[in-house]
Amino acid sequence: MPGQLYSWTCSACSLEWVKRSVGLASSGDIYADRETTVYEIGYPDNVNATYGLMNADGSALMDVLDRYGQASQQAWLGFDDAYRVASMTTGMISGAAWYHWTALRGVQGDTIWIANSAPGYKSVWNNLGRADWDRLGGFSCVWLV
């Protein structure tokens, strides 16, 4: 995943990746699509440069998916449940102590494979293991159904 241009846009980058990966929207220009996604989420009321995504649960992300006709669910999940979800579908996750949204790509071995627009942030690159989960959680998970 290309890196985010602004520190507060991780939620938009993650949602744009999900939309593109399942064919909901893509102009072919990732950065233009990310800008569109920022406005779909609701700039500045729901996402902005001061706080990033305003609601930690990801409900604003779910609202965007709903407008595309894509059903989604949200829950605060433990590692095992998130691993199971990631093995079946895509979505987005954010750790309360991480304060960063990434997209779910799947699983690799005993880790959750993520699309991370800020690789290396808090020592997480492309995979989240159980130790990262414990260190950076609780985790809000939004996934496609």
Question: What pLDDT digit, counting tens, does each position of 21-44 carry?
Answer: 999 999 999 999 999 999 999 999
Q: What is the pTM of this model?
A: 0.98
The string of pLDDT tens digits covering residues 49-68 is 999 999 999 999 999 999 99
Q: Could you give phi then psi for residue 51, rounded to 5 degrees?
A: -120, -5
The Cα-based distances of 15 to 66, 78, 90, 114, 124 in angstroms read 12, 21, 10, 12, 19
Ramachandran area for residue 53 (φ above 0: left; ψ -120 to 50: alpha; else beta): beta
Tens-digit pLDDT profile for residues 75-134: 999 999 999 999 999 999 999 999 999 999 999 999 999 999 999 999 999 999 999 999
Number of neighbouring beta carbons within 10 Å of residue 66: 11
pLDDT at 27: 95
What homologous superfamily does CATH list for 10-144?
Cysteine proteinases (3.90.70.10)
- pLDDT at residue number 125: 98
Task: Cite the DSSP H helix spans in the chain.
Answer: 10-21, 30-41, 59-67, 79-86, 130-136
Enumerate the domain spans of the chain.
10-144
Q: What is the pLDDT of residue 116?
A: 98
